[in-house]
Structure 1
C-alpha cells in the first residue's frame, strides 16, 4: 500500500475508534428545583430560645417534596460489560439561590467501576446502604418536609470517605459500605459532635468510621427491604460513641393503590456508654393515583422513645411518644413539572420529629410547653 493510502486508512480507523468511544461515553447535567410556601404554628424562634416564637409564614430553604439540587453524572463503556461512572451532586437553597455551606458537591461526589453481572464498586461521598435498601418504602418518597426521614435514617445517611458495593440481580439489590471518616458534623448540637469526619487518624482509626449493609426485593407488585447501619462519632480522638440502626420496610401495589409500612430500631450511645437516644420508629402509608396526573397520599409516623439524655452525664428521661399524620396531594403537569400541597399534624413533638436527634435540620424547634404543631405547605417542583 502506498504511504499516502496507508495514512488515510490509519486515520480512518482512529476516527472510527474515536467515534465509537464518544458514542459510548455520556455526561448528563441534571437537577431539581423545589420552591414552597409554608405556614407552621407553635414554632420556636430557635432551639436555644424555646420560650419565644409563634406562627411562621414564608419560604423554607429545605424545599417541599424534594431538596433542591443540581449535579453531573457520566459513564464510559470500557467493553466486555464493564463501565466507569461518576456522580457529582450539590444542594442549594431555592429561596435565596445560595449554595449550601457544607460544600459544592456535599450531596454526592463519587467515582467507580461497574460490571453488568457482578455489580459496582464506588468511592467517595455517598448515601448509606440503609437508605439505599429502605428508601423505596418511604410513604412520601423521603419528602423534604413532613416526613421524618432524618429521624428514620439518622443525620449520617450521607457519608464521606466511603467505599461501597452495589449489586443488582433481577429484582434483588444488595448493598454494603464502609466509611473511613463520615464527615458528619454533628449528631446533635452540643451532644455527639462528630469531629468533621476525621476518621482517617493514625492515632485512632475508629474515629467517625461507619459501615452497613442492606438487601431489597422490589418488583412491580411486592417489595421488602432490610438494612443495618453503625456509626462511631467522636468528640475527642479515641473516644468514640456508637449509633446503631436496624430497619425493615415493605410495600404492596395493586392498580392505582400502593401501601407501605416499616419499622426501625435505634440505639445511640455516648462514648461513656450512657444512652443518648433509644427509640422504636414505625410508619405506614397509602397512596392512590386518582388520575395519571393527580396522586394522593396519607402517611402515619410514630416514635416510641424509650430513653433520652441531653448530655453524656445527664439523667435519662422517657419523653412522650411522638406521632405525625401527613396528607399530600401532588398534581403533575408533565413528567418534569408538578405542583403540590401537604398538611402535617404532629403530636408530642415537632413536624418531621425535628429535635436534637436530627440536629434541627428542618428548622421546626418546638416552643416550650407545646404539644401539637400544624404545617401547611404548597409549592412548585421542576426536574431537569
Structure 2
C-alpha cells in the first residue's frame, strides 16, 4: 500500500513536470537570403556602368526567429534580422539589425503584437501581391516614391496583426517619435487589410510618417535617385502620406496583379523649388507564368506621374526570368526600360531639373530621359 502511494506520487510529479516542460518549449531558427548580381546601366549620372550589386531580386540578410510556449495558446516571439551588402560585406545603414528587430506576443486566437523596428502594414499585406514580389526593385515604382519596395522602416513602433478570419486579415501600427514635449512629433502610423478567397486576393493600406524635428522621426527613408523631392543625405522636414490598393488573381500557372497608389510629400519648410506638397499617382500591372516547376517568367509595367511644385511622368517596363536550381537556390535575369518627361528636383530641393529615366529604385537616375538596365544574378535562401 505504501509503495503504491509513493509510486502514484512519483507518477504525478512526472506528469506535472512534463506538462510544465511542454508549456516552456522554445525554439530558435536561423534563416536568411543572399542575393548578388552583375548589372549593366546604359546611363547612370551621365555614364554607362557595369557593376556587381546586392539584393536585386530579394533581400540579403540573416535572421534569428524565436518562440517560447507560454501556455494557453500564447507564445513569446522575437525576430532579429541583419541586412548587409554581400558585395562589400558591409552592414546596411550602419545598423546591426537594420532589417527588423522585434519582440512580442503571439497566439493563433489572439493575433500578434510586436514592438521594435519593423515593416509597416502596407509592406506586409500589399507588397506581396504586386509586381515587386516577382523582381524586387526592378519592378517597383521609380524612386520607390510609394514605398512599394519597402524603402521605409518604422522605428520605436508597436504593431498588431490580427488572426485570419475566413480569409480576412488586418494590421495596425504606431511609431513613437520620442521627442520630449511633443507626443506627435516625428511619429508614424499605418493600417492595412487584405482578403483572400480562392485565387483572388485584395488589399488596401495607409501609411503616414512625420519628420518634423531635426529631419528625423519614427520612419527611416533611404533613397538615392532623383524621383522623390529630397534624396541622398538631405534630411526632410515634413511628412509623407501613402495610400495603396492592389488586387491579385492566380489561375493555374498564371498570376496577374494590378495596383494603384497615391503618395504625398509635404515640406514643413521652404527648400526653394520644393515649397509645397508633391503628389505621386502610380498605377502598375504585372504577369507571371510558371512554365515548368523550375522556370518562371514575368512582365511588369508601372506608370508614375508627379504633380505639385514639379511635374514629371515615368513609364517603366520590365521582364524577368527565374530558374530554380533547387528549392533554395535560383538564377535570374532582368531587363528593364524607363522613360521620363517633365521636371523633378535637385538633391537639396532648391531647383528644378529635367527628370531622368529611373528603373525602379536601383542606383542613380539617368542624366537623359531614358535608362536601360540588364541584370544577371543568383539568390540563395537558407
TM-score for the superposition, normalised by structure 2: 0.81
CA distance in 2, matches of 1:282, 1:292: 30
For residues 339-350 of structure 1, the aligned pairs below 5 Å read: 339-348=331-340, 349-350=356-357
Mapped contact 2:359–2:371 kept (Cα < 8 A): no
The equivalent residue for 1:209 is: 187
> Which residue of the other structure, out of 358, 362, 368, is the alignment partner of 1:351?
358
Mapped contact 1:207–1:240 kept (Cα < 8 A): no
Mapped contact 1:224–1:249 kept (Cα < 8 A): yes
Mapped contact 2:249–2:256 kept (Cα < 8 A): yes
> Which residue of the other structure, out of 359, 375, 378, is the alignment partner of 2:376?
378
> Which residue of the other structure, out of 90, 106, 111, is the alignment partner of 1:114?
106
Note closer, same or farther for the CA distance 1:216–1:88 as it changes in structure 2 (3 Å cut).
Answer: same
CA distance in 1, matches of 2:357, 2:10: 72
CA distance in 2, matches of 1:108, 1:226: 23
2:141 is aligned with 1:134: no
Cα deviation digits, residues 227-285 of structure 1 (max 9, x gap): 11111112548996221111100011111111100100111111149425211011001
Q: Tell me, what secondary structure is at the counterpart of 1:59?
A: strand
> Which residue of the other structure, out of 38, 41, 54, is the alignment partner of 2:47?
54
For residues 145-164 of structure 1, the aligned pairs below 5 Å read: 145-148=137-140, 150-153=144-147, 157-164=152-159
CA distance in 1, matches of 2:205, 2:359: 22
Q: Tell me, what secondary structure is at the counterpart of 1:351?
A: coil
Please provide the CA RMSD for this pair. Answer: 2.5
Once the 2 structures are TM-superposed, how far is the Cα of residue 323 of structure 1 from its aligned partner? 1.2
Mapped contact 1:162–1:177 kept (Cα < 8 A): yes
Note closer, same or farther for the CA distance 1:218–1:275 as it changes in structure 2 (3 Å cut).
Answer: farther
Note closer, same or farther for the CA distance 1:156–1:141 as it changes in structure 2 (3 Å cut).
Answer: closer
2:173 is aligned with 1:177: yes
CA distance in 1, matches of 2:215, 2:205: 28
Q: Tell me, what secondary structure is at the counterpart of 2:137?
A: coil
> Which residue of the other structure, out of 208, 219, 223, is the alignment partner of 1:230?
208
The equivalent residue for 1:38 is: 39
Mapped contact 2:38–2:376 kept (Cα < 8 A): yes
For residues 236-275 of structure 1, the aligned pairs below 5 Å read: 236=214, 241-272=238-269, 274-275=275-276
CA distance in 2, matches of 1:330, 1:91: 23
Which has the higher mean CA deviation after the structures are superposed, 8-17 or 283-292?
A: 8-17
Once the 2 structures are TM-superposed, how far is the Cα of residue 117 of structure 1 from its aligned partner? 1.8
Q: Tell me, what secondary structure is at the counterpart of 2:123?
A: helix
Note closer, same or farther for the CA distance 1:339–1:147 as it changes in structure 2 (3 Å cut).
Answer: same
For residues 29-108 of structure 1, the aligned pairs below 5 Å read: 29-44=30-45, 53-61=46-54, 63-108=55-100
Cα deviation digits, residues 3-59 of structure 1 (max 9, x gap): 99799768745753465256x321100000111111111111xxxxxxxx3111120
Structure 2's unaligned 5+ residue stretches are 217-235, 341-355
Mapped contact 2:23–2:71 kept (Cα < 8 A): no
CA distance in 1, matches of 2:154, 2:215: 19
Mapped contact 2:145–2:263 kept (Cα < 8 A): no
Note closer, same or farther for the CA distance 1:96–1:4 as it changes in structure 2 (3 Å cut).
Answer: farther
TM-score for the superposition, normalised by structure 1: 0.81
Mapped contact 1:241–1:271 kept (Cα < 8 A): yes
CA distance in 2, matches of 1:200, 1:156: 21
Q: Tell me, what secondary structure is at the counterpart of 1:232?
A: strand
Structure 1's unaligned 5+ residue stretches are 45-52, 181-198, 308-315, 355-361
CA distance in 2, matches of 1:103, 1:114: 26
Once the 2 structures are TM-superposed, how far is the Cα of residue 352 of structure 1 from its aligned partner? 3.5
Mapped contact 1:64–1:378 kept (Cα < 8 A): no
CA distance in 1, matches of 2:13, 2:63: 36
Note closer, same or farther for the CA distance 1:254–1:92 as it changes in structure 2 (3 Å cut).
Answer: same
